[in-house]
Structure 1
Amino acid sequence: MSEFETIRFERTGSIARITLNRPEAANGLNQVVGRELATAAGLCADDPTIKVVTLTGAGRFFSAGGDLKAMAAAKDDGMGAYVKALADDLHEAMSLFARMDALLIVGVNGTAAGAGFSMAVAGDLVVAAESASFTMAYTRAGLSPDGGASYYLPRLIGVRRTQQLMLENRTLSAAEALDWGLLHRVVPDAELAATVDELAERFAAGPKSANAHVKKLLLVTYAHTLEEQMGTEATFIADCADGADGQEGIAAFLGKRSPNFS
């Protein structure tokens, strides 16, 4: 879409594809990227016909994180204010991605550092190329993490391993990130795009409502008691059963045929 300068936003049927598109700057995040990511995330969240969103990077990097040159250039006007505005836009995008009904599939095509790391692990499904690597790198630049890293990482891998990443700035290979539980799959570099597309097509043919309810259940699980979570489960499964996809899924199972979800 022509209105975007630093990302590509493409729509094919019920799949939206977002590509970070500053390869000359390692897909680093400046204020334009932050605003455009938030806008693209809003478009995806507001469109009920979008069932899957993919996110990847152009070139060799997924994203090197915050653009430190842009931050330094804002020093005279207030570097803190610049970084806060960038973080606010990024966080709006991350919140929308997490709470939208569509699934977010992240294809990590190269180095994911800083906020790039934060964005990568926030996917509902995360696939990485074999050459990808992951590092927080914030404290190396005298900064603390953003992008939801301090929310997702302890839940995915525990506090001790999160401390290693955030304080020691340990770099993980794709294989190590998979072993730690940060990824769902690692594939050869040449197969990444096709794998992400195959997953997107598969879930685009699936039950959007059921997948959306899975996302919502997992978002609240740590905030609920067992009884509260089971109450939410009961409400959600009833909602699915009343919906077209639930009724089609049950009918297809009983009829021993493939479902045709809306």
Structure 2
Amino acid sequence: MSELTTLHDDGVLELTISRDGAGNSLDHDAVLAGADALHRVMRGQLDARAVLLTGQGKNFCAGGNVAKFAAADDRRAYLRGLAHDLNTFVSALYATQRPTVAAATGWAAGAGMSLALHADFAIGGPSTRMRPAYPGIGLSPDGGMSWLLPQIVGLGRARTILLRDEVLDAPALLEASLLSEIVDDDQVRTRARAVAAELAAGPTGSYAAIRRLLLASSSHTLDEQLIAEAESIADLSITGEGVEGVDAFLAKRIPDFPRARG
């Protein structure tokens, strides 16, 4: 583990994506360290049951470090390399099949907005703002924004947000389901950490299955989705968590999913 990745005792893997300074731009070392930690989860080397994305400074992440873009000897090769590493990080977020929470303090712009969108729960405050930011510097989205934003808000709204480079404040983000919850600004990290802990204590297999089904739904026919649901619920019914959940329901007690996982 590095200073940018922390596995808490309750099973929450905290990944820092931006450092204090440089406007809280996306930190390349943080992207590499985060991807490495997520791959270790997939290999069974880290027992993480939820992921928490945070920034070190006042902002979650204000996007890429534009000054470094400009200083690169070969901008195309440099940007392609950065995009590749960010793609690896985003793909690993999905491949781990762990629920993800973002502590969206302050600005989430550019790649920071992309990463906030990939979280299952994005917690913000009254000062939270999101902005695509790409048109402002003559570039196009990365980090999966053009894939996920239309799925959340619809193609028409996504087109408007991206082409007009809209700044979305906290109420607009909540209405558009780009934020899950708004708390006081000084409570964003605390609340996000608590949500991540709740998820880490929950039914990991159930969460993973729900995420897979939701992601597949847009490309499945109804019949295909019904079959996938039937297979999934049947498979989960014989897992430790599935047995514990049913037994606890019948016994009128709170299920102990961590114990059931062994």
Contact 1:45 1:100 in 2 (8 A): yes
Q: Give the aligned residue type for 2:19.
A: R
1:21-170 to structure 2, matched below 5 A, reads 21-29=18-26, 31-47=28-44, 49-74=47-72, 76=73, 78-170=74-166
Deviation at 1:187, TM superposition (A): 0.8
SS of 1:23's equivalent in the other structure is: coil
Q: Matched residues in 2 for 1:8 and 1:35: separation?
A: 10
Structure 1 residue ranges, 4+ long, deviating more than 4 angstroms after superposition = none
The residue correspondences of 1:166-177 to structure 2 (distance < 5 A) are 166-177=162-173
Taking structure 1 as reference, are residues 40 and 246 closer, same or farther at Cα in structure 2, changes over 3 Å only? same
Among 223, 233, 239, the alignment partner of 2:235 is 239
SS in 2 for 1:229: helix
| Alpha carbons 1:44, 1:102 under 8 Å: kept | no
**Residues 155 and 82 of structure 1: CA distance in aligned 2, closer, same or farther (over 3 Å):** same
Residue pair 1:10, 1:17 contacting (<8 A) in 2 also? yes
Quote how far apart the aligned CAs of 1:8 are. 4.0
In 1, are the aligned partners of 2:98 and 2:208 still within 8 Å (CA)? yes
Deviations 1:91-149, CA, capped at 9 Å, x for gaps: 11111112312111111011000010000011011111221100001011010001110
Offset from partner CA, 1:200-243 (integer Å, 9 cap, x none): 22112211000110111111111111111111111111111010
8 Å CA contact retained: 1:8, 1:20: no
2:237 aligns to what SS in structure 1?
Answer: helix
TM-score (norm 2): 0.93
Structure 2 spans left out of the alignment, 5+ residues: none
Distance 1:57 1:107 in 2: 8
Distance 2:221 2:47 in 1: 33
For 2:86 and 2:108, locate their aligned partners in 1 and report how far apart those are by CA, in whole Å: 15
What displacement does 1:9 show? 3.0
1:220 aligns to what? Answer: 216
Preserved CA contact (<8 Å) 1:27 1:61:
yes
Query: Take 2:28 and 2:51, find their aligned partners in 1: how far apart are those partners?
Result: 22
Summarize the Cα distance change of 1:202–1:153 in structure 2 as closer, same or farther, 3 Å threshold.
same
1:51/1:237 CA distance change after superposition, 3 Å: same
CA RMSD of aligned residues (A): 1.5
Tell me the alpha carbon deviations over residues 12-54 of structure 1, each in whole angstroms, 9 at most, x when there is no partner. Answer: 2311111234211123135434322322332333336311110
> What's the secondary structure of 1:56's corresponding residue?
strand
State whether residues 18 and 26 of structure 2, in contact with CA within 8 Å, keep that contact through their aligned partners in structure 1. Answer: no
What is the letter of the counterpart of residue 212 of structure 2? K
Q: Is the 8 A contact 2:5 2:34 kept in 1?
A: no
Q: Which runs of 5+ in 1 are unaligned?
A: none
Secondary structure of 2:24's partner? coil
Please give the alpha-carbon distance, in whole angstroms, between the structure 1 residues aligned to 2:70 and 2:236: 50
Q: What SS does structure 2 have at the residue aligned with 1:131?
A: coil
Work out whether residues 18 and 61 of structure 2, in 8 Å CA contact, stay in contact via their aligned partners in 1.
no
CA distance in 1, matches of 2:34, 2:160: 29
Q: In structure 2, do the counterparts of structure 1 residues 184 and 217 end up closer, same or farther at CA, with 3 Å as the change threshold?
A: same
Alignment check: 8 A CA contact 2:106 2:129 kept:
yes
Scaled by the length of structure 1, what TM-score is found?
Answer: 0.93
Match of 2:48, SS? coil
Counterparts of residues 183-262 of structure 1 (less than 5 Å): 183-261=179-257, 262=261
